[in-house]
Chains A and B, each alone.
Chain A
Amino acid sequence: MSGAVMLLRFAQRGVTRHARRSLLTGAALAGGIVVLTVLGGLQDGYVASRLQDGLLLQLGHLRIIGGERPLPDPVALADAFVVDGTALAAAPRLRQPAFLTCAGGSEGALVLGVDPEREARVTRLTSLVGDGAFLPEGSGPPPIVLGRALAQKLGATIGSRVTLFVRRGGGLGKMSVQVSGLLDTGGGLGESALAVVRREALALLLERPDGADEVALRLADPWQAPPLAASLAARPEFAGLGVESWREMAPEIAQAMELLGAIERVRTTVLFALVALGIYTSQSLALAARRHEFGMLLALGMSPARLLVALTLELLLVAAAAVVAGVALAAGLIAWLNARGLDLSAFGARLNGALEGSTIVRPLFSAHRAGNAALWAAAVAFLVLLVPAARLLRLDPATVLRERE
């Protein structure tokens, strides 16, 4: 048996012989991994939910807007993004501030002109109609869908006539529309200040022959939107146009993510300080209890460096088991919570717009996040071992052997 194999065996026996201490150390490490991974998974789930519910309410992941020049053939541009695989779906739109009046009152709102079929593939707007229908085709006045809170302020119900005023050239344009549906977006501006009409109707009102001032895209991976926006903006065919990812369109979401990231760093530090304290206590007690054993090994001729290797191997074995157990437990817990869903509506009710869309958060398991937690745990365990191990390496075997007499 080689020296390395002997040290490994010595380490393995050390783990099993001091089962309680190994269990305590392993449980501290595994607990840290579980807490970090599950809390991180909840955070990821919340962020994904915000991206899904918030961005896809009406913004999309990325949009091309007219800038120094108008959008050239927005419909063809939208189709091109889908055909070349850049986007899952794309929809041209018109976006216009407007003043709405009805029998019960008047309100300012953002009016969105959309193509219902295309919009259904890009955002969730069409599915959020709680009452009525989303811009049905038919004769009569053009249909309009109002946020439920906006409709209440206007005193409008399904079938009500609403007059839409917009700035057009140097004056005002107006159009009479009929409420076809009410939007339930879970609160926020989507319910209180959003109205949706067919794009061609709004284009007619605005006398805009181009018919769109933006093309909204839905991507397979929303995290790819910022780099894609940068890449598109650098291409010559997009010169004079604006390209915005959700980071620019919804800076509050990006800021919230930065805040969550900062909180996560604090959480990680505090958590592992506690884990480190627990491991330090257990390791110090364990090494003190084995002082004579180590003194004897040094007396026999084992070098302090080899003793440190043996102790490190011991800790690595415990850490490896803790990583496997911690990651497995975290993955299982996240899978269960994901299937069940965490209803945060009680928190959302007090924080307007925080849970716009779904109030159910489903944590997501991230191998990257679990790997980071495992690395943190291993690093903390090793650093904590160094303190009592350094004392051990200075151990004088003659003193230890004399103590036993």
Chain B
Amino acid sequence: MPTVTPVLAAADLARDFGGVHALRGVSFELRAGELAGLSGPSGSGKTTLLHLLATIDTPTAGGVRLLGREVSRLSRGQRAALRLQHVGLVFADHNLSPALTLAENVELPLALAGRADAAARVRSALERLGVGELAPRFPDQVSSGQRQRAAVARALAGEPAVLLLDEPTAHLDSTAAAALVEEVRALVAERGVAALLASHDPAVLGRCERQLRLRDGQLEADA
């Protein structure tokens, strides 16, 4: 069950790109165990918002609080360390390293974070997502659905406080997309992660318990 304390909070977030307002005055909170869907037309600012929440990018104005701590003004190195410890990221295009096997891709952030039980976490995460047998294969040796499952396993293996998914089902068929989102929903509830899933797909968004809608860089709806 969601707790009262917000895990992730955006406060009056704004991001400009050379005079173009990509985001303006976006504020909301995400709590542990909550899976929120993020929708909006192309160019509405979904990816920009996810990048700001992930601390990959820094806001022009406003701030991001993660586990009660203001994080958007930290140094580049501090933000990188923060992502390794507390943020799980899934991109539209899986973004697995082609040089590493699926298992190594999942293990990479754990190893960089100095997690002692990395091997067990990798095995468990891949098996939980149904790609445990594909662990020794390279990304180009499995299907796009399997790659995306491995990407989710990578994002969740470190047991992050926040999971941010940017169009994770963009390259999947509807069956694979539904199955993946169901897995994500179960894991979010099971592990008490605060998750935000950006998508264009109404079927995918319909599986999220809360809906955030962006239009022209502003939060149009939060229901």
Contacts and interface: CB of A to CB of B under 8 A. Distances in A.
A297 B97 contact: yes
Interface of chain A, helix or strand or loop or mixed? helix
A139 interface: no
A299 B54 contact: yes
A13 B87 CA distance: 26
Contacts of A9: 100, 104
A303 B85 CA distance: 13
Contact of B119 (A1, A3, A296, A297): A1
A294 to B, nearest CB: 10
Given A300-B83, A397-B56, A405 B47 contact: yes
A389 to B, nearest CB: 16
Contacts of A296: 91, 95, 97
B89 A2 contact: no
A6 interface: yes
A300 B107 contact: no
A2 B107 CA distance: 10
A9 B54 CA distance: 27
Given A1-B119, A299-B89, A301-B112, A10 B56 contact: no
Contacts of B54: 299
Interface residues of A, number: 29
A9 B108 CA distance: 10
Interface in B197-219: none
Interface stretch (B73-81, B142-150, B176-184): B73-81
Contact of A298 (B80, B93, B97): B80
A314 to B, nearest CB: 10
B83 A13 contact: no
A6 B51 contact: no
Interface string A1-33: 111011001100110010000000000000000
Given A296-B97, A300-B83, A301-B80, A1 B107 contact: yes
B112 A304 contact: no
Interface string B62-86: 0000000000000011001111110
A404 interface: yes
List of 4 A-B pairs having minimum Cβ-Cβ separation, nearest first = A301-B84, A13-B99, A301-B83, A398-B57
25 contacts: A3-B111, A6-B108, A6-B112, A10-B97, A10-B99, A10-B100, A293-B97, A296-B91, A296-B97, A297-B97, A299-B54, A299-B56, A299-B83, A300-B108, A301-B81, A301-B82, A301-B84, A301-B85, A301-B113, A302-B108, A397-B56, A398-B51, A398-B57, A401-B91, A402-B47
